[in-house]
Structure 1
Amino acid sequence: MSWIGKMVGGTLGFALGGPVGAILGGVFGHAFDTKEERALSGGGPTLLSPEEEAQMTFFVAGFSMLAKLAAVDGRVTKEEMEAVQRFMAQDLSMTEKNQQVAFRIFRQAAASSNTFDQFARQFHERFADKPELLDLMLDILLRVSLADGHISPDEEALIQSAARIFQYSEAAYSRIKERYVKSSDSVYAVLKSERSNTDEEIKKQYRKLVSEFHPDKIASKGLPDEFTAFAAEKFREIHEAYETIRRERGF
């Protein structure tokens, strides 16, 4: 991702404020201007493109929320770090360099005074008009927290808080969780549907999700490259869930 190169090289003159900006300043060791400050100063080093800004926000806020999730009991265990490492390597296929940056962000966020909710609010402010990316973030939080097959009450309380900030109903959150807590209705949860839905309702919802999560479309929304691969896996899960239901119902 090009924004990481700009950060590492110290050539970036603008980044978001709020907790994301604070984490970036701590990780890369130099201050970042606001848009207003740049306007008053007459410019400065390289600006981020809108796409880079979106990628940076998703990347930093995402790993910061994972850090706060892991540290919810007061410490980050070796097992939790290994779960994040597997997520980076297996689910995101991240390069070694980008993994190192992600871990620096993770550690900075885990030790920071910023709260999980503050990161979730900034994420929501940036992506409120992109519900697919909000859905992906909840997916990521649940996938990593359930990597060992168990989610603690404290961890789930944080993820539920993110769901509320993202303006998800309890029923909508439950459907996302059911994707990972396997049951006979898990395939319906993948389609954000219920077993009681009609065949036509299932088909309509499938077409809607396939359109929203098509890799080409999701890549245009400012998602970091590595997370685009994660979205592509979600796209395959949607298709597989639909095929399972189609075979089961015989339509």
Structure 2
Amino acid sequence: MFFPMIIGGLLGYQLARFPGLLVGALAGVLITQYLRNRLRARLTDLQSAFIEPMFSVMGALCKADGVVTRDEIQVAETFFARFRLSEQQQAMAKAAFNRGKSADFDLDAEVARFLRISNGQHLLLQLFLQVQVSAVAADGVVHPQEHAMLVRVARGLGLPEAQVEQLEAMLRGAHGSGHAGTSRASSGQQLDDAYKVLGVSPSVSDAELKKAYRKLMSENHPDKLAGRGMPESMRELAEEKTREITHAYDIVTEARKQAS
């Protein structure tokens, strides 16, 4: 804010002394405000452009097992608040979700559309996939048909199948691994899922485990969102993912301590 004002003021002062100083400072303020408004508008347009592919693919995935459950609809609606959608954007999202459920919906074309809109930004593609996994796992289960379609979406985005397995493992951890004080999954399943989240095999050394953990945390750090021009409303998703990565690392390190 102050830097453009100072520059504008100094330039104005050189041209017309004190009156120029005031005019230049005012010009600097106006330029700064203009740039801020342009940035806000760009982020709003970016978010709006994401809505249709995001929610239409979600609709297709929720219908993959033959029925869209009330839980899946509620999860879709929670993203309205998480993405801070306006009433107009919410209406757009609902229409897109319903379009995705239709029999003639072209899933591959819509995934390709998102790939173009995102400019292939890896973190954004991962967050897109994270949203889809969250939606279909609303009932705590990812059905085989849903998993197959998630893999298809991942491949369309240029992401490996392991990304789907990692996110499904994260969701199982979030739903049943002690965050809420109860455990629906066995300790063995939790440990297997934790290794999947971290993307390593149980045979890796402690040093390799720590290296993989730090790499994942660096790649998924929420602060990278702003630097890449992504909407701030998606920051919560990145924070959620880093929490699950840390939780998985804690499970593995604790299991290794007990085994030693």
Q: TM-score range by the shorter chain?
A: 0.5 to 0.7
| 1:153 matches 2:144 | yes
The worse-fitting range, judged by mean Cα deviation, of 66-75 and 117-126 is 66-75
| 1:215 matches 2:207 | no
Tell me how far 1:48 sits from its aligned partner: 9.4
Question: 133, 142, 145: which is aligned to 1:142?
Answer: 133
**Structure 1 partner of 2:49:** 57
Question: 232, 244, 250: which is aligned to 2:251?
Answer: 244
| 1:102 matches 2:93 | yes
- Once the two structures are aligned, what percentage of the paired residues are identical? 31
| 1:84 matches 2:91 | no
SS at match of 2:149: helix
Q: CA deviation digits over 1:172-212, x for unaligned, max 9?
A: 43333222345222222222222222222222222222222
The CA RMSD measured in Å over matched residues stands at 3.2
CA contact (8 A) 2:216 2:245 kept: yes
**Structure 1 partner of 2:241:** 234
Taking the aligned partners of 2:170 and 2:164, their CA distance within structure 1 comes to 10
**Alpha-carbon distance change, 50 to 194 in structure 1, aligned in 2, over 3 angstroms:** farther
SS at match of 2:171: coil
Taking the aligned partners of 1:93 and 1:59, their CA distance within structure 2 comes to 10
TM-score computed with the length of structure 1 as normaliser: 0.67
**Structure 2 partner of 1:70:** 62
Q: CA deviation digits over 1:2-60, x for unaligned, max 9?
A: xxxxxxxxxxxxxxxxxxxxxxxxxxxxxxxxxxxxxxxxxxxx999664454333332
Tell me how far 1:150 sits from its aligned partner: 2.2
Larger Rg, first or second structure (1 or 2): 2
CA contact (8 A) 2:53 2:96 kept: no
CA contact (8 A) 1:68 1:115 kept: no
CA contact (8 A) 2:51 2:92 kept: no
SS at match of 1:180: helix
The worse-fitting range, judged by mean Cα deviation, of 166-175 and 129-138 is 166-175
Taking the aligned partners of 2:96 and 2:40, their CA distance within structure 1 comes to 19
Q: CA deviation digits over 1:120-166, x for unaligned, max 9?
A: 11222343642222222222211211111223333222111112212
The worse-fitting range, judged by mean Cα deviation, of 193-202 and 71-80 is 71-80
Tell me how far 1:223 sits from its aligned partner: 3.1
Q: CA deviation digits over 1:101-137, x for unaligned, max 9?
A: 4323323444484412211112223436422222222
Taking the aligned partners of 2:246 and 2:223, their CA distance within structure 1 comes to 16
Which amino acid counterpart does residue 53 of structure 2 have in structure 1? Answer: A
CA contact (8 A) 1:58 1:223 kept: no
**Structure 2 partner of 1:16:** none
Taking the aligned partners of 1:94 and 1:76, their CA distance within structure 2 comes to 24
CA contact (8 A) 2:59 2:97 kept: yes
List gaps (5 residues or longer) in structure 2.
Answer: 1-37, 174-188
**Alpha-carbon distance change, 221 to 58 in structure 1, aligned in 2, over 3 angstroms:** farther
CA contact (8 A) 1:176 1:192 kept: no
Query: For this pair of structures, how many residues does the alignment match?
Result: 204
**Alpha-carbon distance change, 204 to 48 in structure 1, aligned in 2, over 3 angstroms:** same
Which amino acid counterpart does residue 195 of structure 1 have in structure 2? Answer: P
